Amino acid sequence: MSTKTVLIHIQLVLIIVLLCGCSQEKAVYNIVNFGAVGDGQTLNTQSIQKAIDQAHQNGGGKVIVPSGTFLSGTLFLKSNVNLHLEIGAILLGSPHIEDYTELSWGHNKDRQPWHLIYADSISNVAITGLGTIDGNGEHFWEAYEKDDNDNMVVPRWIKAKEQKVSPLIDINHSERITIKDITVKTGGGWNIHLFNSKIATINSVKVINNIYSPNSDGIDLTGCSDITVSDCFIKTCDDAIVIKTVADSNESERISVSNCVMETLCVGIKLGAGESYKDMRDISFSNCVFNGTSRFFGLYSKNGAVIENIVVNNLTGNTNAKLVYNRPIQLMVEKNGKGEVGGIRNVIISNVAAHTDGRILMTSDPDGFLEDIYFRDVILTYPRIEDPASMIEGARSNQFPRVSEFKEAGAARAVFVAENVSNLVLDNVKLNWPTANVPLNWQHPERIENGTTRVHKPDYTNPRETEFSVLWAKNVQGGYLDAVLAAPSNISLPKYNLNASTIRIKN
């Protein structure tokens, strides 16, 4: 046999080996083969964990949860394992806190030591499939008020018990994570949480909760980087998608959220708030739709974080939530109790179309900074105008400007409200004011308030509780206003109400 022939044979063998290697799939481990029973009553924690451990020990594989209801306590994910829930599969959290492994690291009322799915310091992990992870969260909530027909009285906040399973899915210090196609429902608190993790994809996930459920964030990303969240549907009470930093986390950076549909009584997409200890940067939100959402988008620096380089575009929907002080967009910089203060800068918000009864609020502590804020191509349509001044006394939400320091801004009767901002741009804004009766679907008999137990009963006989200017500004330095299509709701009002401000008026 010639040398050339030998080489050809060797090449053919290599090709065959490569093809066989490519066609081989990772091993499959069905939890039923490890003793799991899908009757909704048998506790399967050990059986499911055996399947996960076996897959990991053998170099990785797919752990199958087949059709059925599989009750479980805490499961520990391992590297190179795909936990795959088939159609009809339900991984059901135990209603008993003692069935969960109690962990012992820095927690608070939302980051509890109990979880249904937990991972730490792993890589190449996935949770996939068209099945459901049900947290059985109602067992970790206080009893709520019911009417004579045994239905929950709404709108009313549900309170959580002191011990609860939260976050339901908690992935820490890990990388190369995929969460795809699953439905997550009824978490006892937070639903999906990534902490100090990187290179992750969350795609086509549904998160569904009682709209009044306590602390029920949809997706939380704490101290994470290089993350994409896309094509998700989230209905919950608390923040739908929130990016944050805490004292023991990394900074958050390089994160993209796109093509999501959300309904929540809090913020649809948010950065910061109480968890804003480290900086957040290079983050994009795009192509998102909101229904009955109290706030579409919010940036909150409350514990010294600098939030910068944020791009937001293509948002649409309505703020028709059964709350007061609904507001499509809010930016807030606040000093914490230690006197620490951060800032927000380089924010571009464009292509926003919303039905709302509230305002866009931008406020900063004088010692912080709120600078280079751009609004372009914004259309707001008002089915009704809510009067914020009539309710300002007693407002206590920690995501509303502190009344003691920002009473004027909190009560300001204008679409855009800005205090202590440098370089604010409003470019191409259109406002559509109510011309007829308040639509029936906006006439909620009662409205509740964040931060208090107050219940308000608005009078809907007049769609205008008050009148709005286009902008109320105090100490706004630099930038420009070019809003030829925007007019106050009443011609007797000034278009722009400027106090100690040097913003340039183009139109």
Return phi, psi of residue 244, to 5°: -150, 170
SS3 assignment, position 2: coil
What is the distance between the alpha carbons of residues 501 and 424, in angstroms, rounded to a whole number? Answer: 11
pLDDT of residue 452: 86
Among positive and negative, which fits the CA dihedral 254, 112, 124, 87?
negative
Q: Which two tokens stand for residue 293?
A: 């959402």
User: Looking at the domain assignment, is residue 256 inside a domain?
Assistant: yes
pLDDT tens readout for residues 96-128: 999 999 997 667 788 999 999 999 999 999 999
Taking residues 395-401, report their average pLDDT. Answer: 87
Contact call for residues 175 and 198 (beta carbons, < 8 A): yes
Instruction: Report yes or no on 161 lying in a domain.
Output: no
- DSSP secondary structure of 180-217: ES-EEE--SS--EEEES-EEEEEES-EEE--TT-TT--
Pairing of strands 306-318, 280-290: parallel
Q: How far apart are CA 172 and CA 174, in angstroms?
A: 5
Q: Is 106 domain-assigned? A: no
Task: Answer whether residue 207 is part of any domain.
Answer: no
Q: What is the pLDDT of residues 447-477, one digit of tens each?
A: 999 988 899 999 999 999 999 999 999 999 9
**Inter-residue contact 359 to 327 (CB < 8 Å):** yes
Percent of the chain with pLDDT over 70: 94
Q: Give residue 498's domain range.
A: 239-507
pLDDT of 144 higher than 90: no
DSSP lists the bridge partners of residue 28 as 62
Q: Percent helix, strand and coil across the chain, each rounded to 5?
A: 10, 45, 45
Q: Token pair of 88, please?
A: 């009809």
Identity of the residue numbered 139 = H
Tell me what pLDDT residue 183 has: 98
Asked, for residue 40, whether it belongs to a domain, the answer is no
State the chain's mean pLDDT as an integer. 93
- For residue 19, being part of any structural domain is answered with no
Number of domains in the chain: 1
Confidence tier at 442 by pLDDT (50, 70, 90): very high
Judge whether 382 lies within some domain. yes
Mean pLDDT of the 486-504 span = 97
Q: Are 356 and 385 spatial neighbours (Cβ–Cβ below 8 Å)? A: no
CA distances from 187 to 90, 110, 111, 119 (A): 14, 11, 13, 17
How far is CA 163 from each of CA 44, 189, 502, rounded to the nearest angstrom? 22, 10, 52
> Any idea what the Cα angle at residue 226 is, between residues 221 and 227, rounded to 5°?
45
Bridge partners (DSSP) of residue 129 are none
Q: Are strands 225-230 and 233-236 parallel, antiparallel or unpaired?
A: unpaired
Of the candidates 259, 255, 313, which has an alpha carbon nearest to the alpha carbon of residue 280? 255
Radius of gyration of the chain (CA): 26
156-160: long-range contacts (C-beta < 8 A, 24 or more apart)? 156/212, 156/448, 157/212, 157/214, 157/237, 157/448, 157/453, 158/210, 158/212, 158/213, 158/214, 158/237, 159/214, 160/109, 160/188, 160/189, 160/214, 160/215
**Distance between CA 401 and CA 412 in Å, rounded?**
12
Identify whether 222 is part of a domain.
no
Would you list the DSSP string of 363-411?
EE-TTSEEEEEEEEEEEEE-SSB--GGGG-TT---TTS--HHHHHHHHH
What DSSP assignment string belongs to 299-325? EEE-SS-EEEEEEEEEEEEE---SBSS
pLDDT, position 398: 87
What does the alpha-carbon distance between residue 223 and residue 250 come to, in Å, rounded to a whole number?
Answer: 4
pLDDT at 18: 43
Residue 428 contacts residue 376 (beta carbons within 8 Å): yes
pLDDT tens digits for range 335-393? 998 999 999 999 999 999 999 999 999 999 999 999 999 999 999 999 999 999 999 88
Reading phi first (left if > 0) and then psi (alpha if -120 to 50, else beta), residue 362 is in: beta
Sign of CA dihedral 397, 398, 401, 403: positive
Asked if residues 39 and 32 have their Cβ atoms less than 8 Å apart, the reply is no
